[in-house]
Structure 1
C-alpha cells in the first residue's frame, strides 16, 4: 500500500500505477528457475528474465533523464548502443533471475523516491535525438513517469504471453 498522507493525489496515483504494473511483471516470473527465465517460448527473441532486465534498464534510464536530462542517454546511431540495447532483452551467462529482480527493486526504489521528492513534476528536458521523437520535443518528469508506467505495462503483457507458452501459468485468471 502506498502512503498517501503526505503526497499529492497525482504523486500517489503515479506510485500506485507503477507498483501495480511492476507487481504484474514480477508475479509473472514467480517460481521460475534461471533456465526457465532465460528460455524463449515464442517466435520473438524475448525471454522473461530479459524482460525484467529491459524494464529495469529503461526505468533507470528515464529516471536518470528526469534528474540529468538527455546527456547520458544512448545515441541511437551508435552501433555499440544498439548492441547493448539488444543484449538488454536477454539473460546473459552469469545472470540470475534473482539478481535481475534485485536490480529491478533498486531501480524501483529510486524512481519511487523521485516521485515523492521531485520539486516539480512539470520540470522538463529536451528529448535526445532519435527517429521516434519529434525534433525539439521536451518531456516533463510527469510525462516520463507516464511513459515508464506504459512501458512496464506493455512488457508485463509480453511476459504473460511468454509465461503461458512456457508452462501454462497466467498472471491473471
Structure 2
C-alpha cells in the first residue's frame, strides 16, 4: 500500500482515529505545564497525564499489531507513572511524543499488508484466555481508547477554565 492513495476501510479508520486525536489535543490548547498537571476532579487524571497515557497505549498496541504480545511487552510499563505528568515533563514534550507516535501509527495502518493479521493477546485478567486480535481490532480499540480519554480530558479542561471541545 506504500505510495498508494488510501480508500475505503483504511481511510475510515485513519480519519476516525485522527478526529479523536484532534479532540484530545484540543483539550491542551493554550495550556501551560501547570494547568496540564492539574487534577481538577477527584480523579488522578490530568490533561498531560492523559496525553502521555494515550501515546503510550497507542505505541504499545501498534507494536502488538506488528509483532504480537512479545513485541508489545518488550519494554515494561510503569502503570502508575504513565497516567501522570511528572515534574520533569512538559506538555510540549508530551504533545511532540504523541505526534511522533501518531505519525508512526498512521504509517503502519497505511502500510501493513493485511488488517486481518491477528496475534494472540497477552495473558491478563481482562482478556479472554486464548483470544486473538486482528490489526483491525487493535485500530478500533485505539479509536475507542482515544475517544474515551478525549472525553475525560474535556471534562478536566472545562473544570480548569471552562473551555469545551464541543461547546
Same fold (TM over 0.5): yes
Aligned equivalent of 2:138, options 109, 128, 144: 144
1:97 paired residue number: 91
Deviations 1:113-166 (A, max 9, x none): 011111000001000001110000000000000000000000000000000011
Cα distance in 2 for partners of 1:167, 1:74 equals 38
What 5-or-longer segments of structure 2 have no aligned partner? Answer: none
Alpha-carbon distance in 2 for matches of 1:47, 1:88: 11
**1:44 pairs with 2:43:** yes
1:115 aligns to what? 109
The TM-score normalised by the length of structure 2 is 0.94
1:156 is aligned, of 130, 150, 154, to: 150
Q: Structure 1: how far apart are the matches of 2:120 and 2:80?
A: 25
Runs of 4+ aligned residues of structure 1 deviating over 4 Å after TM superposition are none
Q: CA deviation at 1:8?
A: 3.1
> Is the contact between residue 60 and residue 73 of structure 2 (CA under 8 Å) also seen in structure 1?
no
TM-score (norm. length: structure 1): 0.91
Q: Secondary structure at the match of 1:139?
A: strand
What is the count of residue pairs matched by the alignment?
Answer: 163
Shift of 1:73: 3.4
Counterpart residue number, 2:66: 67
Aligned-CA RMSD value: 1.4
Deviations 1:48-89 (A, max 9, x none): 0000000000000001001110003349xxxx74xx111101
Residue in 2 that maps onto 1:126: 120
Aligned to 1:54: 53
